[in-house]
Chain A
Amino acid sequence: MFRKADTSAAWAFILATLLFFIGGLLTTVVPPMVDKSWAKPFKNADPAKGITGELKPLGSLEQQGRAIYQREGCWYCHTQQVRTILADTKRYGWRGVDAPVSTPDEFVFDSPHMFGTKRTGPDLARVGGKYNEQWHRTHFKNPRELVPGSIMPPYPWIANNPAEFKALLAYMQSLGRAKEWRPANDYEK
């Protein structure tokens, strides 16, 4: 078979396509059929079964904020996934509570996905409610005012634009809150 492809361009072409489709279909089209959690929004009302909560689609304000996050490329520096690594759950929890691990059912409505590949800054999967409005405004204006040594870029054109700031803030505060993981829901607004 492979010998034939040595002298016949048509054979080589067909074989190369075939091999591609075997691996391609089995690893992209089949998995979501096998693992239903990729498409079923997270929902649990029974504390006995673990953490409670429900994943709801973002409202329009939060969607606008997400579009700003997308436009400014925040996702090149921030991931949104608490991995199955102990250090991730400890580091990205706050006020002494560990962050729950991210599961596929928490991202069902996300498009484009924002999982990210690089942590130049910290993971933001559970940042919703960690800081208040004033903190975020100052931070976007000049991150180094709050966190000396930060290399996050300043975003004055967002911080000084009330509509954009409000939207981005709403998106930030929504992150990771499908799961009610904070004791007594002690999130900042």
Chain B
Amino acid sequence: MLEQNSRAEASGTGAAVVHVDATAKWFIASSVLYFFIVGIIAIVIAAKFVWPDLMGTTPWLTYGRLRPLHVNGMLFGWLLAADMGLAFYVIPRLCGAPLWSEKLGVATAVLWNVIVLGAVVTLLAGQNQGWEYAELVPWLDALVVVAWLMFGANLLMTIAQRKYDAMYVSIWYVMGTVVWTAFVYLTGNLATLFTTGVNQANLNWMYVHNAVGLIFTPIGLAIAYYFIPRASNTPLFSHKLSMVGFWSLAFVYVWTGAHHMIHGPISQWLQTIAIAFSLMLLIPVWAVVYNLFATMKGQWHQLRENVPLKFLMSGVVFYLLTCFQGPMHSLRTVNAIVSKTDWIPGHAHMAVLGAFSFFAIAGTYHAVPKLWGRALHSQAMANWSYWMLMIGGLGFFVTLWLGGFWQGWQWNNVGIPFIDTVKALQPVWLVRFFSGIFMFAGIVLFAYNVMATVVGSSSEAAA
């Protein structure tokens, strides 16, 4: 199907569709900028673990205020915005139809930037609702809902006007994201307001888990499914298998929120349900990963020269690892060791940076030259950005897993005073800081490369 679409796209058979892409451009350019800015905050936070008095006497630079800014900035300022921009690029092309309304799209992009700036100011001022991933104050939440409705309406209308009957898998994933995000977001930011205690925590974890599982996963996979065949010029291995992956994801993910409270003050039977469904997550993951790997069969040599493909396939590997870890953490015995330790940020960063940001970076590298009609500023720099992010990322994940596992063992040995378990992790946090420097260098190279292409320092036309 993708080939059919691409033939129409390339040869202009029939009425050639002209894509204006103003919306995609706005989203992508601003998200890349936030990736860079929030990267600085990430470095500061990592430094505070090693030098806790750093910037310590200024209230708005304290750890507890920078951390939510880092998380929200990366999730909503960078990743979701980049994903939305790429969806605005991908969907019209898969539908063979122009975006339903560029005006509405650009307005969405402007609103999104207002939200991100509002988040920066309110979070630094300490206006924090106290729920992870749902820190933003209610008026910002309301704006997010409005922006999401604008985004969703625009894409759904585009899909409704599509030229091809059958829908490529990326279209389902984007549709899924539109629906699920709306409800997941309302659960985490609205329903929680009317509850307390364990009930509220249960809603909060449902939201936290599905922010990753039903927002970043489906939109990330939509991008991977589009750009892997595109970047490698190879058709997708199996349409049917992609369907298995999609519908099992749709069914299984919502059930697993309570696995964030294993051994905690929440009903045992609910924990057990969450564990059972967490294990079932292996099904959609396997279906997706098998499909994408089978697509690459005989094509792996392309990875040597092709930077977007490097990011994409490394992202798939990280996706597999992350989604293997997740179900394992939910097992009671494993959970008793790794839960609440530094293992968890290692795991979370592999999902959000290693898998989904890698997909978004690849999509951006692929789309930017097409959007602005210029060759990428520098291929060599793009390759360096890959290696910096890869080395930094691996350093980050692996040291935190080892450190976190060790920390968990120590906690379970009650003879060791807590403070000794803090001191023991100092070397781990130092390595994490330096890994962060590598990652940040990768982000700088990526952002610079994209921005240089956008402003047109290379006059060479895109191939």
Contact = CB atoms under 8 A, between A and B. Distances in A.
B140 interface: no
Interface residues of A, number: 77
Contact of A13 (B129, B175, B254, B345): B175
Contacts of A107: 196-198, 201, 265
Nearest to B418: A122
Interface residues of B, number: 84
Contacts of B204: 113
Contact of A151 (B49, B127, B266): B49
What does DSSP make chain B's interface, helix, strand, loop or mixed? helix
Contacts of A114: 130
A117 B62 contact: no
B196 to A, nearest CB: 4
Given A19-B251, A149-B423, A152-B52, A71 B126 contact: yes
Contacts of B234: none
A76 interface: yes
B241 interface: no
A39 interface: yes
B180 to A, nearest CB: 6
Interface in A111-165: 111-122, 143-144, 147-157
A33 to B, nearest CB: 10
A24 B254 contact: yes
Interface stretch (A43-51, A80-88, A166-174, A179-187): A80-88
Interface string B201-216: 1111010000000100
A102 B175 contact: no
28 contacts: A7-B167, A9-B171, A20-B250, A22-B251, A22-B254, A23-B277, A27-B202, A32-B199, A32-B202, A70-B129, A71-B127, A73-B67, A73-B68, A76-B67, A77-B64, A83-B263, A84-B264, A87-B413, A91-B418, A112-B130, A112-B192, A113-B130, A117-B344, A149-B419, A150-B52, A151-B49, A153-B48, A157-B59
Interface of B: 48-49, 52-53, 56-57, 59, 62-65, 67-68, 126-132, 156, 159-160, 162, 165-167, 171-172, 175-176, 179-180, 183, 187, 191-192, 195-204, 206, 214, 243, 247, 250-255, 257-258, 260-261, 263-267, 270, 273-274, 277, 336, 340-341, 344-345, 411-414, 418-419, 422-423, 426
